[in-house]
Amino acid sequence: MTILHAINWLYVASGFGVGFLVGMTGVGGGSLMTPLLILLFGITPVTAVGTDLLYASMTKTGGSLVHGYNRTIDWPLVGRLALGSVPAAILTLTALYLLKINGGEANEFITKTLSIALLLTSLSLILRRFLLAFYVQRVGELSPKLTSRLTTLTGVILGALVSLTSVGAGALGVTALILLYPKMDVRRIVGSDIAHAVPLTLVAGAGHWLQGSINEALLASLLLGSLPGIVIGSYFVPRVPEPVLRFTLAIVLVLVAARFLSQ
């Protein structure tokens, strides 16, 4: 009964909805869940980010199993991303600890960084086709060696950003991978992005847990909804056209970012 009393069914429903969306598109984990926890449920930014990171690692493990079964993960690509993102996450969290950014100062810092991350994510969703066309015309196809290096650099950027805000592994990661690997099937890009998020969010979440910014009851409620949500979403063929889904998500993120900036 103690476990059942700790479960909040609104959190369970939120976890299911976000997990389902992540399973379909690879987008919407941190960029939706963290603002949802802060703005709708009143969770402090530090706790929201830390809890969401562990939530994401466990949720995307479920999604990775499905994508792995469907053979829509490029494991060498995942390794190149993790080579940059995991060390970057550790260094970012170490820097936060050494600088002793905590309490209200930490909440304000994360809120402002989160708003910027949400704006970047929304722009990557809205302008994805334009960015792809511009990239193809101006840059073209890169050499395998340069592509590998840029993939690791992308991991470094994602590692720092996700550790601070829990946002970026989905939309920003997928957009970057589409630019770097234009000939790769989008399903493999989404699957690889979800698989890469597992070690990244696990390491970043563990760092936040060591600093005491995890709400265990909240985490349990979110996982109860998100694990079935992401598995179902990974199999589900969406009836809503992908561009409509992407644009709607982008508008929501812009409004959320504006709300954070106005605080």
How far apart CA 133 and CA 135 sit, in angstroms, is 5
Q: Is residue 237's pLDDT more than 60?
A: no
Q: Is residue 240's pLDDT more than 60?
A: no
pLDDT digits (tens, 9 = 90+) for 46-78: 898 889 899 888 888 877 888 888 888 999 999
Contact criterion met (CB below 8 Å) for 235 and 191: no
Indicate the pTM of the whole model: 0.79
How far apart CA 169 and CA 164 sit, in angstroms, is 12
Other C-beta atoms closer than 10 Å to the C-beta of 210 total 12
How far apart CA 172 and CA 127 sit, in angstroms, is 12
Confidence of residue 1 (pLDDT cuts 50, 70, 90): very low
How far apart CA 164 and CA 206 sit, in angstroms, is 13
242: tokens are 């992908």
207: Cα separation from own chain's centroid? 16
Greatest extent of the chain over all pairs of C-alpha atoms, in Å: 61
Contact criterion met (CB below 8 Å) for 172 and 196: no
Contact criterion met (CB below 8 Å) for 46 and 218: no
Q: Is residue 189's pLDDT more than 70?
A: yes
Three-state DSSP at 140 gives coil
From first CA to last CA, the distance across the chain in angstroms is 39
Q: Average model confidence (pLDDT) for the chain?
A: 82
Alpha helices in the chain (DSSP H): 2-6, 9-25, 29-35, 45-69, 75-98, 103-126, 128-138, 144-165, 171-180, 186-210, 216-235, 242-261
Name the one residue in this structure whose structure tokens are 């910014």. 213
pLDDT digits (tens, 9 = 90+) for 106-137: 677 777 787 888 788 777 777 777 877 777 67
pLDDT digits (tens, 9 = 90+) for 161-177: 888 888 777 777 887 88
Torsion sign (Cα): 200, 165, 105, 41: negative
Of 251, 215, 92, 218, give the one whose Cα is nearest residue 157.
92
How far apart CA 194 and CA 73 sit, in angstroms, is 9
Three-state DSSP at 41 gives coil
DSSP 8-state symbol, 184:
S
Confidence of residue 246 (pLDDT cuts 50, 70, 90): low
DSSP 8-state symbol, 232:
H
